Amino acid sequence: MTFFRSRWVAAPSGGEELEPAQLAPGFRAAGVACGLKGGGETDVGLLACDDANARSGLLLTRNASAAAAVRVCREQCDARAVRAAVVNSGNANAATGERGYRDALEMRDAASEALGIDQRAVAVAETGAIGVPLPVDDVVRGIGTAARALAGSGAADFAGAIMTTDRAPKLCRVSADGVTLSAQAKGAGMIQPAYATMLCFVQTDGEPSDPRAALSHAVASSFERISVDGQMSTNDTVLLQATGASGRALPEGLLDAVLLQLALEIVADGEGATRVARVEVTQAATQDEAERVARAIANSPLVKTALYGRDPNWGRIAQAAGMALAGEQVEELGPDRIDAGELGTDSGEVEIAVPLGRGDASAHVYFSDLTPEYVELNAEMT
Amino acid sequence: MTFFRSRWVAAPSGGEELEPAQLAPGFRAAGVACGLKGGGETDVGLLACDDANARSGLLLTRNASAAAAVRVCREQCDARAVRAAVVNSGNANAATGERGYRDALEMRDAASEALGIDQRAVAVAETGAIGVPLPVDDVVRGIGTAARALAGSGAADFAGAIMTTDRAPKLCRVSADGVTLSAQAKGAGMIQPAYATMLCFVQTDGEPSDPRAALSHAVASSFERISVDGQMSTNDTVLLQATGASGRALPEGLLDAVLLQLALEIVADGEGATRVARVEVTQAATQDEAERVARAIANSPLVKTALYGRDPNWGRIAQAAGMALAGEQVEELGPDRIDAGELGTDSGEVEIAVPLGRGDASAHVYFSDLTPEYVELNAEMT
């Protein structure tokens, strides 16, 4: 097993990891270059399902400055019957006004036409710089090229074409109980979820009873639980497509395990990140309180620099928790309560435990460290 | 004028800047070394008012992990009649349990005894590492030394002794309308206010009608409006002492101008900071919304790295605002709305304007940039 490698992911029982360049049966994909990124890097991805009866779940960012592609998906797409997805990387097409919206529609139309699929069955996703007009003619040309290149073995090309600051492509194919599931994701910065928090595409020949419900459940314990920099993106999109051709139900836990491992890869690949921590807040008075404290710790630049510096600085955890609990009466959070010892080790995956002694609610968040490289990467001129 | 140097501070009319090592009439101070910081650096500050009828205002952090000194002030101090303040720097004495509380009381008792001032008239403040036991005997010895060194010209020594990661001491003395006001502050990291956000001591022979109300008013538009790293400290303390010996009211705007300039110095001295921005959010639907959006922008690591990189990246401002407004219908925040042009200049003080087009409420926040030096400074082992 090389995909399910995090200590925090339980690999699905009876699951087998398969060559990830291949998609689940019934799906084809491609990735080509249209010039958005320059240097010949691929930047247009196309994904299609051959089965006209495929069902889907589609989750989109709640950011009020949502990108054109997200608004097109929200307003024009039949989210329960998505057959194809067209993606560009290098340009988020966000805050680009009416022109941006028209450009996203044009991408959708080009994919619809090239694939002979109804417009309402095409999802659009984009990722990259915000506020830059899209050279849509180049993208449309790329979509035509991608349509001709579609192949069952195109997952790696597709995963490569949706990357931005990612250090490595993120993809897998797994089979369990006669069902195959493949997935491709990207994401490294602007990562704190609400629904999803990056782009992720999942294909299966299994049959979830409700694709949207299955996706929501898996996202709640994966992409919803990670933070690189506390920033909700304008473009987050997660799509699950299921043909049901295997005639079998989606095995319990398979989707959850795949999305959690992909989410952890996104955190580990956080811009400039060198390691990942999991903070678990327990004994909170309410669920909201547990969430608030866990997020305050995960997003504290002081905790994140301590993670980078291998500094078991539980005092900064007490401070961040105390900020989230401002004005409340809390029994002192000392070293006898907070377990932050692993911060001081060289482990790549660090556990932190914070029992608040106030009730029964708990919450956890996975987060990356804050490094000089994060700053340098994000301080470069657009 | 060298103290009131920010473009955002209106110097008080008729005000005159005086040599800042001298305190306002009726006050004495000292700063000595007791070994907390090592290297002979001063780390114990003592401040005393000779007037037994002095009135005061005292504001303390709301952090639920408040330090021992803050709890002593809250529980044991007559906040409206503080005559003396005793401070150590180098050790926050936070999350140090019952022993920490006893140590803070011991500091208070030592100052009370050395000065012949009632225990309830002594405030205690501490700043430095969290969770480290205080070598209180050394501090008590230092308090004795400081009491013998008290002088009307001791403000610079006092300001030096309360510094931690500050690059420079922060102090001033100003006279206006026959009233003199002096102030000393420290702060560079763990800066996002709730009440105050660092240590600040203000002395005057003017007569505010209500010292606490005057202080709250001035803090609301100064220390409450700054952020270095979005982190509320465990130790924030602001003290105003007024003798009224001048027989004149505190001139309108004097305290506000001094605290705003000091607050801006704290932001400019933010750990690793190279420049300061002021984001003004207008046309918000509610005051809470304006605050939320302004804070989201000021605390976004992506906006802060753009500030560092001289990158007029308004797209990151749209994204951060959209995150704060998640789920709301907002007219697109494009470059025609967001004014972020000064981000791309070399100005040390940058203005950003974000009109939301949703109502009449507004809020502003001053914040520093995020630099590799911030990360390196905070990644060092405690």
Res. B226 pLDDT band, cuts 50 70 90:
confident
Q: What residues in B contact A164, CB-CB < 8 Å?
A: none
Q: Do domains B16-268 and B276-379 have the same CATH topology?
A: no
Select from A63, A370, A371 the Cβ nearest to the Cβ of B319: A63
Task: Give me the phi and psi of A260, to 5 degrees please.
Answer: -65, -45
Encode chain A in three state secondary structure: CCCCCCCCCCCCCCCEEECCCCCCCCEEEEEECCCCCCCCCCCEEEEEECCCCCEEEEEECCCCCCCHHHHHHHHHCCCCCCCEEEEEEEECCCCCHHHHHHHHHHHHHHHHHHHCCCHHHEEEEEEEECCCCCCHHHHHHHHHHHHHHCECCCHHHHHHHCCCCCCCCEEEEEEECCEEEEEEEECCCCCCCECECCEEEEEECCECCCHHHHHHHHHHCCHHHEECCCCCCCCCEEEEEECCCCCCECCCCHHHHHHHHHHHHHHHCCCCCCCEEEEEEEEECCHHHHHHHHHHHHCCHHHHHHHHCCCCCHHHHHHHHHHHCCCCCCCCCCCCCCECHHHHCCCCEEEEEEECCCCCEEEEEEEECCCHHHHHHHHCCC
Q: Which residue of A has its CA nearest to B130?
A: A315
- Return the pLDDT at B191: 58
Q: Which residue of A has its CA nearest to B380?
A: A309
The residue type at A4 = F
Q: Name the DSSP letter for residue B377.
A: H
Nearest CA-CA partner of B46 in B130, B157, B138: B157
Say whether pLDDT at B188 is over 80. no
Cα B141 from Cα B297, distance rounded (Å)? 46
CB contact under 8 A, A325 and B190: no
Cα A342 from Cα A311, distance rounded (Å)? 9
Count the neighbouring beta carbons within 10 Å of the beta carbon of residue A80: 13
- Return the pLDDT at A196: 34
pTM reported for the whole predicted model: 0.89
8 A C-beta contact, residue A205 and residue A245: yes
The answer to which of A157-161, B63-67, B227-231 has the lowest mean pLDDT is: B227-231
Say whether pLDDT at B196 is over 60. no
CB contact under 8 A, B62 and A321: no
Higher pLDDT, B187 or B172: B172
Q: Which CATH superfamily is domain A276-379 in?
A: ArgJ beta chain, C-terminal domain (3.10.20.340)
**Cβ of residue A305 closer than 8 Å to a chain B Cβ:** yes
- Return the pLDDT at B195: 33
- In b/e form, how buried is each residue of A322-336, taking b as 16+ CB within 10 angstroms? bbbbbeeebebbbbe
Any idea which residues of A carry the catalytic annotation? 197
Say whether pLDDT at A97 is over 70. yes
8 A C-beta contact, residue B32 and residue B111: no
CB contact under 8 A, B379 and A323: no
B177 sits in the region (left: phi over 0; alpha: psi -120 to 50; else beta) called left
The residue type at A375 = V
Q: What residues in B contact A381, CB-CB < 8 Å?
A: 309-311
- Return the pLDDT at B380: 78
Task: Give residues with Cβ within 8 angstroms of B56, minimum separation 6.
Answer: B79, B80, B81, B82, B83, B211, B212, B239, B240, B241, B242
- Return the pLDDT at A65: 86
Task: Give residues with Cβ within 8 angstroms of B320, minimum separation 6.
Answer: A231, B293, B296, B297, B300, B302, B303
Percent with pLDDT over 70 in chain B = 97
Pairing of strands A361-368, A170-176: unpaired
Res. A233 pLDDT band, cuts 50 70 90:
confident
- Return the pLDDT at A234: 83
Burial of B79 (0-12, 13-18, 19+ CB in 10 A): middle
Per-residue pLDDT tens for A345-371?
999 999 999 999 999 999 999 999 999
Q: What residues in A contact B300, CB-CB < 8 Å?
A: 230-231
Residue B17, token pair as written in the block? 């800047």
Q: What residues in B contact A227, CB-CB < 8 Å?
A: none
Q: What residues in B contact A289, CB-CB < 8 Å?
A: none
Per-residue pLDDT tens for A287-323?
999 999 999 999 999 999 999 999 999 999 998 999 8
Q: Which residue of A has its CA nearest to B301?
A: A229
**Cβ of residue B152 closer than 8 Å to a chain A Cβ:** no
Mean pLDDT of the A217-222 span: 92
Residue with tokens 């999802």, as numbered in its chain = A123
CB contact under 8 A, A131 and B315: yes
Per-residue pLDDT tens for A150-207?
999 999 999 999 998 888 899 999 999 999 999 999 887 665 543 334 889 999 999 9
3-state secondary structure of B251: coil
**Cβ of residue A285 closer than 8 Å to a chain B Cβ:** no
Nearest CA-CA partner of A88 in A65, A64, A106: A106
Let me know the angle formed at the C-alpha of A142 by A140 and A148, rounded to the nearest 5 degrees.
110
**Domain boundaries A16-268, CATH class:** alpha beta
Select from B96, B301, B328 the Cβ nearest to the Cβ of A229: B301
Angle, helices A97-115/A68-76, rounded to nearest 10 degrees: 60
**Cβ of residue A375 closer than 8 Å to a chain B Cβ:** yes
Task: Give residues with Cβ within 8 angstroms of B102, minimum separation 6.
Answer: none
**Cβ of residue A274 closer than 8 Å to a chain B Cβ:** no
Listing DSSP states for B31-88 in one string gives EE--SSSSTT---EEEEEES-TT-EEEEEE---TT--HHHHHHHHH--TTS--EEEEE
**Cβ of residue B229 closer than 8 Å to a chain A Cβ:** yes
CB contact under 8 A, B375 and A374: yes
- Return the pLDDT at B270: 84
The domain segmentation of chain B, as residue ranges, is 16-268, 276-379
Per-residue pLDDT tens for A120-146?
999 999 998 888 899 999 999 999 999
The answer to which of A2-11, A184-193, B106-115, B317-326 has the lowest mean pLDDT is: A184-193
Q: What is the mean pLDDT of chain B?
A: 92
Residues paired with residue A242 on neighbouring β-strands, in sequence order: A55, A204
- Return the pLDDT at A62: 86
Cα dihedral across residues A76, A80, A84, A87: positive or negative: positive
Mean pLDDT of the A52-71 span: 92
In B341-360, the residues whose Cβ lies within 8 Å of chain A are none
Higher pLDDT, B193 or B212: B212
CB contact under 8 A, B318 and A130: yes
Nearest CA-CA partner of A130 in A374, A300, A378, A369: A378
Residue B78, token pair as written in the block? 């007559």
Mean pLDDT of the B271-294 span: 95
Per-residue pLDDT tens for B300-323?
999 999 999 999 999 899 989 998
Interface predicted TM-score (ipTM) over 0.85: yes
**Cβ of residue A133 closer than 8 Å to a chain B Cβ:** no
Residue A110, token pair as written in the block? 């080009």
Q: What residues in B contact A378, CB-CB < 8 Å?
A: 301-302, 305-306, 309
Cα A107 from Cα A109, distance rounded (Å)? 5
Instruction: Count the alpha carbons within 13 Å of B252 in the hemisphere toward its beta carbon.
Output: 1
Q: H or E segment at B13? A: none
In B85-104, the residues whose Cβ lies within 8 Å of chain A are 92, 94-97
Percent with pLDDT over 70 in chain A = 97
